[in-house]
Structure 1
Amino acid sequence: MVERALLVRLYFDAREQDESASLLVELGELVSTLGIGIADSVLAKSREMHKKFLCGTGKAAEIVELAHAHECDVIVIDNNLAPSQQREWEKLANLCVIDREEVILDIFAKRAHTKEARLQVELARMQYALPRLARMWGHLDRESAGSGGGGSGGASRGMGEKQIEVDRRLAHLSIDRCKRELEIVRKQRKTQRKEREKFETPHGSIVGYTNAGKSTLLNQLSGSDVMAKDMLFATLDTTTRRIELPDGQPLLITDTVGFVRNLPHRLVEAFKATLEESVLSDFLIHVLDATSPEIEIFHATTLKVLEELGALDKPIITVLNKIDLVTDSETLASLDCVFPDAIRASAFKGEGMDDILKACSHVLADRVTRCHYRIPQKRGDLLNLLHQDAKVLSTDYEANDILVSAVVPANIAGRLDDFRIEA
């Protein structure tokens, strides 16, 4: 367990200074999420990118000296480090050195609860650790003359096989196993979606930057109690709830894992089984934190990940969440200018929920029609059809006929046209 961390962000162009400072602050939030104390933060500029430490040897020595002065037991570098660079930093500092990707992987490992999420985390961690095995174990260069009689058969070594080769082989086996099991999960999800599609229930996904308030929004819309906390990556497992829209149409709505800048590509790949809910939805609800100074960057980051997933062509409802915390009129005016079609909302206070539900109804308007029918009582089959596949709003009786008002999906509307009347 590490307790005190020195945070470091290196940048190589003066134009990157502001963004790098913002990323360093975000790294602090990520590290704090792991329960590690932060002793100090360093934003350092290097004139060029060096192969050994990313920065020059003198700058690296200054950073290490500062870490020792603060009695840190870990240096967290926001830049992605190659395995060789990580080894050089640890050799210089004689401390544990990790990068942004390893921090995110550790958070995911702590938060994953379902079998699917644990598999996805294990896959990503094994892919990350594979080129770093030599760093992790000092004994891995030892050879063995043969497999011998003891130990596990899976770890048996051939003539002259090094321990590092055994570990790499086992890591590859673990990666293959995770991929096979994740493929089974994807097939199970596909079966579940086919069951949903039998009833043609529309499906929306809540997406957005981490800690934007997606889970809180789902709770408000559905009356559920999904875990919602003011922390990064509080949600790693998708949760789907069924709600009813103002026009009576049912809707399945899913809370998804949040995005983050510089999200490691291997995590996008590993979490496709979870994130594909975004790809397969009818539309997306993009939640933005209105209080964030980097809201435009967060907006662009989410759209970029959605583009990678092939989900950017879907209708998107943009929601400015936490709007109740924005009191400056200039900031509000700027938000309206940048996001003119966005819905103002406060998921915590429940403000703007009606507007979001109406927007969902508008996106799905072509899927249903509000109709009025006069159905003879002897046509009970049609009444059963309405109750089974539509949303019946009211039923009255007049002579031998039944007067029905209902929200009717397009797939059954044609079978009822002969009985349709004006309101």
Structure 2
Amino acid sequence: MHMQTYAERHMTNHAEDFSLSEELDETASWDETDDAVSEADDFESGYAEDDYVSPDGDDPEASTGALDLAERHQLRRVAGLRTELEDITEVEYRQLRLEKVVLVGVWTEGTVQDAENSLAELALLAETAGAEVLEGIYQRRQNPDPATYVGRGKVDAIREIVQATGADTVICDGELAPSQLRNLEDRVKVKVVDRTALILDIFAQHAKSKEGKAQVELAQLNYMKQRLRGWGGNLSRQVGGRVAGGAGIGGRGPGETKIETDRRRINDRIAKLRRDLKALRGTRQTMRQERRRNQVPSVAIAGYTNAGKSSLLNRLTGAGVLVEDALFATLDPTTRRTQTKDGRVYTMSDTVGFVRHLPHQLVEAFRSTLEEVADADLIVHVVDGSHPDPEGQLSAVREVLADIGAGDVPELVVVNKTDLADPLVVQRLLRSEPHSVAVSARTGAGIAEAVTAIEGDLPRPAYTFDALVPYARGDLVDRIHRDGEIDDLEHTADGTRIKGRATEALAGELSAYAV
């Protein structure tokens, strides 16, 4: 009789608990997305993610960052520890373990260092998605192979690596055509995904709000629509005649193939998501129009993924948003209200991070969110000073900013992570970017200089005034502090003498007390 060991019994009894892990699950197939589809059906048209609040102690979201991080880390498998798993079903086993991947890249331009940096970034993306990277290879070619992405000889080498390492998945550093995906899967005999699908999977794991989930789902469906496939002829079967489903009268004839049915379902779902996002977009625009009506300046923190944008927002405003050393930790924009040293109120928004070759499906789906950057009065462009290629980060982010119409917005470059970066690299960046400051959001070094630079770049009120405000109009003096700019203030026997700049509406009220 076969006797189970203690470890086997333990793993068998607790397999169900571990199978609930959300972070290590494989990417859902089309049939498995029905649950995700139903989650976004209950949109509320009045919902707005960018409703800003004061960062005081009454903010109910002040500690949400710590709670979100704890929830995201509540179940993690330690890589490299193996257990006897013969008594666990295949589904439970695949959910329990880390997916093992092999990375493949094609180097078409740039230096060897550029190719290695790109593959290193792909490895970080794979680890963020919940995979264990076993091997990474790249090939020097003028252009990717139109049939198999890499050369035919390299495909055989990849198959040998997959067989030798026991990998589950091959991840290609680029966007593959449907035919390239199909040909590679047929040759290497394991699942093949491209860079776009990998980024979409990370976004699906990290989206929290209804708007964020809808945006990610829209991008995934647009990507999936062109890549529907099946095994054998199961997607070309038609309903007609006396079928087992009981179509009966009115259902006979050529009917609709399975792939046509799936494509129609996807198109219907895409149309609904676009309607829902349009309603949420209108709510977001209303919020921005209200801020513009009150002439509240807005600052958007943009930059490469994992450059430290959320950490900088927390340091500047005490927002308490989620901070994690991972790619695309922030997907849902956060807007907080803060004020300058002299009392002027302005808003500061955290935005989704950018990356090289950001999938165009994501740019389109997140366009309503990215409009926060395009409509800002100032962009605080955060760059990771400790990254091997910070100049590449700057250029990649500026490409996306140009695509969303934010290329002409004033920009302040903030070189972050100076506590980890090479001082020579930091000095090189400060020289190449004349309007820049160096900070460390973790230690607080340079934050005061950054605040001064941000306040100096805020748009100034257009109208000058010189008024003697009676002491009975203390509310007007308070509005000058919040919405105007004070150059000189003097308390006299008749009232408060104030010189400065104000908005048009405020200057009109002050005209009654002009000196």
Query: Would you say same fold, with TM above 0.5?
Result: yes
Distance 1:19 1:146 in 2: 59
Q: 1:52 to 1:346 in 2, by over 3 A?
A: same
Matched, 1:410 2:506: no
1:58, CA displacement in angstroms?
1.4
Segment drifting more, 3-12 vs 387-396:
387-396
Distance 1:69 1:303 in 2: 42
**Aligned with 1:29 (options 116, 120, 124):** 124
1:54, CA displacement in angstroms?
1.9
**Aligned with 1:200 (options 283, 295, 298):** 295
Equivalent AA in structure 1 for residue 503 of structure 2: A
Superposition CA RMSD, Å: 2.7
| Greater helix share, structure number | 1
Q: Which residue of 2 aligns with 1:4?
A: 100
**Aligned with 2:176 (options 81, 97, 102):** 81
SS of 2:495's equivalent in the other structure is: strand
Q: 1:336 to 1:281 in 2, by over 3 A?
A: closer
Q: 1:365 to 1:200 in 2, by over 3 A?
A: closer
Say if 2:417 and 2:442, in contact at 8 Å, map to a contact too. Answer: yes
Q: Work out which structure has the larger RCO, using CA pairs closer than 8 Å and 6 or more positions apart in sequence.
A: 2
Say if 1:227 and 1:235, in contact at 8 Å, map to a contact too. Answer: yes
What are the Cα deviations for residues 59-113 of structure 1, in whole angstroms up to 9, with x where unaligned?
1111111111100000011121101110111111110100000000000000000
Segment drifting more, 45-54 vs 246-255:
45-54
**Aligned with 2:385 (options 265, 290, 295):** 290
SS of 1:324's equivalent in the other structure is: coil
Distance 1:388 1:146 in 2: 77
Distance 1:309 1:137 in 2: 42
Distance 2:252 2:321 in 1: 48
Distance 2:173 2:199 in 1: 11
Distance 2:470 2:174 in 1: 72
Say if 1:248 and 1:407, in contact at 8 Å, map to a contact too. Answer: no
SS of 1:262's equivalent in the other structure is: coil
> What runs of 5+ residues in structure 1 fail to find an aligned partner?
none
Q: Which residue of 1 aligns with 2:79?
A: none
Equivalent AA in structure 2 for residue 402 of structure 1: G
What are the Cα deviations for residues 264-315 of structure 1, in whole angstroms up to 9, with x where unaligned?
1111111101111001111110001111121001000111100001111111
Q: Which residue of 1 aligns with 2:434?
A: 340
Q: 1:159 to 1:389 in 2, by over 3 A?
A: farther
Q: Which residue of 2 aligns with 1:321?
A: 416
Matched, 1:358 2:445: no
1:192, CA displacement in angstroms?
1.4
1:190, CA displacement in angstroms?
1.2
Matched, 1:385 2:472: no
Q: Percent identity?
A: 36
Q: Which residue of 1 aligns with 2:350?
A: 255
Equivalent AA in structure 2 for residue 24 of structure 1: L
What are the Cα deviations for residues 12-55 of structure 1, in whole angstroms up to 9, with x where unaligned?
45x45332211100000000001211111112224653221022
Equivalences, count? 412
Q: Which residue of 1 aligns with 2:113?
A: 18
Distance 2:503 2:385 in 1: 37
Matched, 1:231 2:338: no
TM-score (ref. length: structure 2): 0.74
Q: 1:374 to 1:148 in 2, by over 3 A?
A: farther
Equivalent AA in structure 1 for residue 106 of structure 2: L
**Aligned with 1:188 (options 266, 283, 286):** 283
Equivalent AA in structure 1 for residue 468 of structure 2: R
Segment drifting more, 232-241 vs 2-11:
2-11
Q: 1:220 to 1:158 in 2, by over 3 A?
A: farther
Equivalent AA in structure 2 for residue 304 of structure 1: E
> What runs of 5+ residues in structure 2 fail to find an aligned partner?
1-25, 27-97
**Aligned with 1:375 (options 442, 455, 469):** 469
